[in-house]
Amino acid sequence: MKGSSFLAECKLILSNRKILIPILAVAFVPVLYAGMFLWAFLDPYDHMSDLPVAIVNQDQGAEFAGQQLQLGKELVNNLKDSDSFKFSTVSKEAGYKGLEEQDYYILVEIPENFSANATTLLDDKPEKLEIKYVPNEGANFLSSQIGETAMKEIKAEISKKITATYAETMFDQVAELADGLNQASDGAGQLTDGAVQLADGSKVLKENLEVLASKSIEFHEGIQTAAQGSKTLSTGTDQVQAGLGEIHAKLPALIEGTQSAQAGMEQMKTELPEKIAAGITGQLAGNADQLNKGIDQFEEKLGAGLTVGLTDGIASGMSEQLANQLINQQTAQMQELAAALIEKGIPAETVQQIITDAAQQAPTKAELQQQLQQQLTSNLKPQLKQGIDSGLNQGFSEFKTQLNQQLLDATTGLEDQLKTQTSPAFNQLIAGLGEINKGQLGLQQGINQLYAGSQDLNKGTHDLSAGMSQIENGAGQIQAGAGQLADGSKTLADGTVKLKDGSTELATKLAEGAKEAGSVQADDDTYDMMGEPVAVDKQEINKVPNYGTGFAPYFISLGLFVGALLMSIVFALKEPAVRPKNALQWFLGKFGVLALVGLAQAILVDFIILAVLKIEVASIPLFFVTSLITSYVYMALIQMLVTIMGDPGRFIAIVILILQLTTSAGTFPLELIPNALQPINALLPMTYSVQSFKAVISSGNFAYMWHNNVILLAYMAGFMLMTLGYFKVKIKGETLVPAVDHAA
C-alpha cells in the first residue's frame, strides 16, 4: 500500500521519544520566530513616551511688534504635552552628563537667541532659529533615527508658530496700509485738482508768454533805435565839448582886449585935446582902423557866446518838457502791459519783476533830457547863430559907421571942437566898453560853468552809449529768453495734461488698492493657514496599521523556513522506516511526515498571528492556505537538499536562507539593496511567499496572491520531482537500510 510507508514513519516517530520530542519542538520553531519577533516589534512607536529625552532651554526671549516672544518656553511646553518622548527639562551640564551615561538617548538644546532670531526676518541679514539635536547613536542607532524624525515634526511645528506670528503682524500692517492708501487716494485726488488748475494756468501762461515774446521783439527794436541815438548823442557831446573848450581858451584874450580898449579910450579922452590937430587926426584915423578890427573881433566872439547861451537855454527847456512827455508815455505803456499780463493770469509778483527789470534797462529822465537837449542844440544852433550874427553885424556896422562919421566930422574944426564934440562919444564908448567888459566877465563865468557841464555831459553820454549797448544786448537776450519761454510753455502745457491724466489714474488705482487692502480680514484661522498653508491629506491604500502587520510576511516566511530546516535535523529525510517497495512510496512516506509537521507549523503560526497578536488579514481562509503552501514549499526544498546532499545540503539551505533574507524585499524595498543582489530576488521562493502574504494580509489583491502561490506551487512541484527522481535512482542501485535499524 502506498500509505504503509507513511504509517511506518508515523509509528516510528510516536514510538521513539528521541524523535517525537524534537519534532514537536520543531513544530513550535516558526511560532518562536514569527510570534516572538512580531510581538517584540509589533508597534514600537506605541512606547515612544517611555524613551528618555533631555531638554536644555537657554532661550532668553525677545520682543516683536510689541509682543513678548518666549518661543523656547512654548516649545518646551508643547513637547511635554505631545507625549512624543519622555521629556525632562534639565540644565546643560546635567543633560550632557546624562547623555554620556546613557540616561538619555537624545538631548535637545534650545540656544539663548532662539526667540531673538525669530525677530530678524526683515533685517538685512536675518538669522535662522537653531535647535541643537544631540543623539547618542552609540547607545541605540534607531533611537537617534526616530528622534531625527521627531525633530522634523518639531521643526515644522515651530515654523508654523513663527509664520503665524509673522502673519498676524503682517495683517495688522495690511490694515494700516489700507488706511494709508485711503489717505494717498485722497491726496491723489487733490493732486488731480491741482493738475487741472496747473493745466489751465499753463495754458494762460503759454498765451501770455507768446504775447511777451512778440512784445519783446518790439522792445528790442526800440532799444536798438535808442542805442543808435545814444551813439549819435555821444558824438555830439564830443563836438560841444571841443567848441566850448576853444571858447573857454580864447575868451580871456577877448576880455583882455576889451579892457585894453577901454583903457585906451580913457587915455584918448584925456590926451586928445592936448595933441596937435594934425597929429591927432592921423593918429585917430589909425586908431579908428584898429578899433574897427577890435569891434569886428568882439562882434564875432559875442555872437558865438550869445548863440551858445540862447541855444542851451531853449534846448534845456524844450528837452525837459519832451523828456517828461516820453517818461509819462513809457510809464503808461508799462502799466497797460502789466494790466494785460495780470488779466491773462500771470502772478502779480512775476509781472512786477518783469516791469522792474524793463524799467531798470530803460534810460532815465535825465538821460533822455540830455539826449533831447543835444539833438535840439544841434538843430537850433545854426538858426540862432544866423539870426544873432545878422543882428550883431547890423548893429556894429551902424556903430562903426556912426563912429567913423563922427571921427571924420571931428577932423573938421577939430582943434576948436575936439573937447566938446568927442567927449560925449568917448564917454558913451567907454561906458559901452565897460558894460561889454562886465558882460564878458559874466559870460566867462557862464562859459566856465558850461564847459565844466559839457565835460560831465560828455562823460554821461558816453556812459549812456555804453549802457544802451548793454541794454541792447540784454534786450536781445530777453527776446531770445521770451522765445524759449514760449516754446517751453508749450511743453509745460503738454506735460500738465499728462500729469492730470496720470494723477487721475493714480487716484483711481489707490482707491482700488485701499478697497482691496481693507477687505482683508484675518483671524486665528487665517494665521494658522499662513503658518501651515499646506495640509497633507494622507489617504492610504492597503493601510498597514503597525510594524507587526508590515513585518508579518517576512517573519512568517522566515519562521516556516527555519522550522523546515530544523526538521531536517530531528527527522531522517532519507532513511525509510521500512523498506519501501518503490520510489514513490519512499517519497510519500517521508513527505507525508513533513506535510503533517508543516501543517502543524502553519496552524500554530496562524493562531498566534490572528488570535494572540490580533493582526488583521484580508481573508483568514486564504491566509491559512498561503501559510500552508509556504510551509510545504520550504519542506519540499529542505527535503530535496538534505536528501540528495546530506549535511552539505543543509549548508546550502542556510546560504539560501541568508540570500532570501537579504533579497526578498521583506524589509527594505528591492531597489534599495545593492544592484548585484537584486537579480537573485526572482530566483528564490521566499520572494514569492513574502509577496503572497502581503497580498492576503494588507492589500487584499487575491489575484496577485494566487499568482505568487502558483509560483510557489511550481517550486514545490519541482522540488518534489527532484526528490522523487533521486529516490528512483537510489532504490535501484542501493541496499536500503531502514531508519528503524538506525534508531535501534
**pLDDT tens digits, residue range 337-358?**
788 878 878 888 887 887 787 6
Can you tell me whether residue 635 is helix, strand or coil?
helix
Alpha-carbon gap, residue 473 to 481, rounded angstroms: 12
- Nearest CA to 45 out of 544, 607, 555, 666 is that of 544
Average pLDDT over residues 280-284: 59
Q: Which three cell numbers stand for residue 521?
A: 480680514
| pLDDT of 588 over the 50 cut | yes
Can you tell me whether residue 397 is helix, strand or coil?
helix
Alpha-carbon gap, residue 318 to 380, rounded angstroms: 11
Other residues' Cβ atoms within 10 Å of the Cβ of residue 386: 12
pLDDT of 536 reads: 52
Q: Which helix or strand (DSSP H or E) is residue 74 part of?
A: helix 71-82
Cα-trace Rg, the chain = 71
- Nearest CA to 410 out of 287, 295, 281 is that of 281
Express each pLDDT in 509-552 by its tens digit.
Answer: 767 766 665 665 666 676 566 656 655 545 455 566 676 777 78
Alpha-carbon gap, residue 147 to 151, rounded angstroms: 6
Alpha-carbon gap, residue 328 to 161, rounded angstroms: 87
- Side-chain-side CA neighbours of 288 within 13 Å: the count stands at 18
Express each pLDDT in 214-242 by its tens digit.
Answer: 776 776 677 677 677 667 767 767 776 77
Q: Which helix or strand (DSSP H or E) is residue 68 part of?
A: strand 67-69
The neighbouring-strand residues paired with 68 are 63
| pLDDT of 599 over the 50 cut | yes
Question: Given pLDDT bands bounded at 50, 70 and 90, which one contains residue 417?
Answer: low
pLDDT of 425 reads: 59
Q: What is the largest CA-CA distance in the chain?
A: 230
Other residues' Cβ atoms within 10 Å of the Cβ of residue 19: 19
Angle at 265 between CA 262 and CA 266, to 5 degrees: 90
Pairing of strands 86-89, 52-57: parallel
Whole-structure pTM value: 0.46
Higher pLDDT, 169 or 184: 184
Mean predicted lDDT score pLDDT of the chain: 74
The domain ranges of the chain are: 22-41+551-735, 45-139, 213-489
Phi, psi of 67 (to 5 degrees): -115, 145
| pLDDT of 633 over the 90 cut | yes
Contact 560, 637 (CB under 8 A): no
Other residues' Cβ atoms within 10 Å of the Cβ of residue 634: 34
Alpha-carbon gap, residue 603 to 567, rounded angstroms: 16
| pLDDT of 690 over the 50 cut | yes
Average pLDDT over residues 64-90: 77
Give Cβ neighbours of residue 212 (< 8 Å, ≥ 6 apart).
341, 354, 482, 485, 486
